Amino acid sequence: MSTVVTRQKFSTLFDWFDQDGDGQLIQGDLKATAQVFSRAAAEDDHDNVTAIHDAFEQWWRLLLQHGDTDGDGQVSQEEFITVMEANVTTPEHFESAVMAIADAVMNALDTNGDGVLSQEEYVRLYDTLGVPKDLSAQAFTRVDRDGDGVISFEEYRAAIVEFYLSADPQAAGNYLLGPVTASV
């Protein structure tokens, strides 16, 4: 069952993925979103860029297979919210669709290979994705659960899990794209 918080997050995500702003997701929208994420990687980081594109392609296949209820080759916002709750966020699909992107992004952003994200690396990602720097700086502080000034691989994965699975509007992961408002 959908909660207000879940609907808000998935509506925001839908709007973010709807690259052409036509109110429908098509394969090209997810390819364009993968391209946006790929901009955060170094120019010669082919492995992580490929992993990002492959994971978005997997996500699109799930959306189309389980969410395109009218068979028109596109996914509406309501279909997206439904398929996100019923299929994409289930254990059998979550790792291959969502967490594969998170892992590739984390690896791409960790430009010095120290296994953590500095605030500069973290803010650079979300700036690339269009999240205002003040919001991503606030999110960094929340996601850095142990307060050591960096975000570990585990902290980042925990935040991603919270964004997709938590109904608590105060969960740290719910701030990844800015504060969740319960206005939907």
**Domain parsing of the chain, residue ranges:** 4-175
pLDDT tens column, 16-36: 899 999 999 999 999 999 999
Note the pLDDT of residue 42.
Answer: 86
Amino acid 64: pLDDT: 94
Looking at residue 113, its pLDDT comes to: 86
Mean pLDDT for the chain? 89
Contact between 108 and 40 under an 8 Å Cβ cutoff? The reply is yes
Amino acid letter, residue 93 = H
**Prediction pTM value:** 0.86
74-128 pLDDT, tens digit each: 999 999 999 999 888 888 889 888 999 899 888 888 888 899 999 998 888 888 8
Cα dist from 136 to 43, 48, 51, 52, 106, whole Å = 23, 22, 24, 21, 15
Per-residue pLDDT for 184 more than 70?
Answer: no
pLDDT band at 183 (very low <50, low <70, confident <90, very high): very low
Classify domain 4-175 at the CATH topology level. Recoverin; domain 1 (1.10.238)
d(CA 152, CA 154): 5
pLDDT value of residue 176: 81
| Distance, CA of 59 to CA of 125 (rounded, Å) | 20
Q: What integer pLDDT is reported at residue 149 of this predicted model?
A: 96
